Every structure is written in C-alpha cells, then in structure tokens.
Structure 1
Amino acid sequence: MAEIKSPLGDADRKVAGEALQGALIDLLDLSLTAKQAHWNLIGRNFKVVHEHLDEVVDLARASADDVAERAVAIGVNPDGRSRTVADRTQLPQLDPGYLGDDKVVAQIADLLGQIIARFRERVAATDEPDPVTQDLLIGITAELEKQHWMFQAQV
C-alpha cells in the first residue's frame, strides 16, 4: 500500500499532526454540539439563534475537512471517528432536552472561547515546524473568533 510522503521532517510532522488532530476533534464536536442545540432550541429568539447555529455548523464542518485534508497532505492520518471524538473531546456537553435560547447563546459563546484558546496554542506550536499548517489554523481561528464575538454580543 502506498503512503503519502511528508514534506516535513518527523519532528515537525509530529507537532503539526498533533495540532491538526486536536483541531479536528474540536471542530467535529463543535459541529455536533451546535447541531444538537439547533434541533432542541426554544425561546423568543428562536429563529435568529437557530439560523446562527447553522452558520457555526457550516464553519465547523468545512474547517474540519480542511484540517483533515492538511493532515493527509503532510502524511498524517486524521481520525474523525465518532469513538475518537467522544473519547478525546474537551468540550462540555449540552443538557438533554429543550434548551432555552439565552442559555444556548451563553454556552456556545463559552464553547467557542474554549476552542479559540486551544487554536491559539496550536497556532503558536506550529509557527516553526509548519507555517502552512499555522496559516490554516490562523484562518480558522479568525472565523471562530468572529462567531464568538457574534454570540457574545447576544449574551
């Protein structure tokens, strides 16, 4: 079976691969969490928050694909299996059942803040080993920060 040869040395590939895998877990769980909130949302601001959650889902899914494809491009196998996401996520889970819009807005703002902090650590970690991966992570971080701002403005 053929393997993808990495343009990076082993040590640099390891750092970049770990950053990308962590980002993948965050993004996949963010997409699932935002969709769960989207389906179970209730409250006076239902329509606005419901539609905004889909923006977060779309961002997370598209970014997860970019992250996974970057991992493969540097010779690292991404692992987005449901068991891996469930075992390795750092995001707190939403409560079951209906979720009030104000609570969802606050929780999503908090989750985005947690993810952004980890993305910024990954940006710093990939500065020397792989500026291309760093650039990808910077772009995703900017989009996450935009969503964070928009949710914080609703709190």
Structure 2
Amino acid sequence: MFAAIGGGIPGDVPMLYGTVPMRKEPTMATVKSPLNEADLRTTGDTLQGALVDLIDLSLVAKQAHWNLTGRNFRPVHLQLDEVVDLAREYTDTVAERAVALGVNPDGRVRTIADTTKLRQPDGGYQSDDKVVASITDTLAQVIARFRERIKATEEADPVTQDLFIALTAELEKQHWMFEVQTQ
C-alpha cells in the first residue's frame, strides 16, 4: 500500500507521487492536420482500417502460435512470432501516424471485434500444414486491403501511402515465406 502525496480531491485516483484528478469528460489535445477535410477523411479511414487489420493479424497469428502442432512445429512457431512482431510494430506506427494527422485511432477490443474483416481461425490445436495454409490466406487478405489503401492514399496523403507501401512489402515477404511451404 502507498500513501498519496498531497491533499487530493474526493474522487481523485491516488498515485505513488500524487493524485490524478478523475474527469467526467475526457480532455482532448487538438492536432491541426496538414490535410484538407476530404483527404483527412480518406486517410483517417485507411489508417483506422489498417489498425484493425494489424491488431487482428497479431491476434490471429498468436492464436495459431499457441495451438500449433506437427513436425514443423518449431520453425512455424518462430515464423508466427515474426508475423506478430511485424504486426505489432506497424500497429504502433499506424496509430501514431493517425494521431499526427489529428485522427484518433481506435484499437479497443470491441472496435476490433466489430470491424475486423479477417477470417477467424478455428479453435483448438491445429496441424502445422493447416496453420501455414490459414496464415497464408490471412496474409493475402490483409495484403489485398493494404494495396487498396495504397491506391486510396496516393493523392490524399503520399506520406501515409509510403507507410502502407513499406508495410505491404514486409507483409508480402511474410506471405511468400508461408506460401512456399504449401507447395
């Protein structure tokens, strides 16, 4: 247990070095976007869609990682970690790009569950060949949507487009590494 330092106000949350006031209404910082309203809407929508895809991709890959069985367990297990790491790294990059443009990213569980377009994996243990085929398909879905986002942001925001191009190259590399295992 610790004692809050300072007087505090009823309803404040005690912290190790003071108190944090509880607010009934969230406070907002405003970021002025360099984009016009139409371009900002287009770019914001593509960034939010990308965020949802990346968060769910990391969850789908982790689910497969935990439930993998078969002779190729170890290499596929490690390869799934690469997908998770890639998705998580770019999740943060995409969210921060949105914030830099004045768009609030929404990575809440409910938002991901309600808006994901990824096919969800079956529950339970999965053989390595089934996981490889499933992740290959999942990556293809994500790549197709990122290619659409690349087109959508070409005029609206070339900086975000560059981010999507770099990410798509990494996703395509992962797709290739999984796909060759299905042949």
TM-score of the aligned structures, taking structure 2 as reference length: 0.84
Moved over 6 A (4+): none
- Specify which structure has the higher proportion of helix: 1
Residue matched to 2:35: 8
Larger relative contact order (CA 8 Å, sep ≥ 6): 1
C-alpha distance in 2 between matches for 1:114 and 1:96:
20
Residue matched to 2:95: 68
Residue matched to 1:83: 110
Report the alpha carbon displacement of residue 2 of structure 1 after superposing the two structures with TM: 3.0
**Deviation string, structure 1 residues 42-101 (Cα, Å, up to 9, x no partner):** 000000000000000000000110000000000100000000000000011111110110
C-alpha distance in 2 between matches for 1:96 and 1:114:
20
Residue matched to 1:116: 143
User: 1:1-155 residue pairs with structure 2 within 5 A?
Assistant: 1-155=28-182
C-alpha distance in 1 between matches for 2:36 and 2:99:
15
Residue matched to 2:22: none
Coordinate RMSD, CA, aligned: 0.6
Matched length: 155
Higher Rg: 2
Counterpart residue identity of residue 100, structure 2: A
Counterpart residue identity of residue 48, structure 2: Q
Counterpart residue identity of residue 43, structure 1: G
SS at 2:31 equivalent: coil
C-alpha distance in 2 between matches for 1:19 and 1:118:
9
What fraction of aligned residue pairs are identical, expressed as a percent? 70
Structure 2: gaps of 5 or more residues: 1-27
C-alpha distance in 2 between matches for 1:69 and 1:7:
15
Report the alpha carbon displacement of residue 135 of structure 1 after superposing the two structures with TM: 0.3
TM-score of the aligned structures, taking structure 1 as reference length: 0.99
Structure 1: gaps of 5 or more residues: none
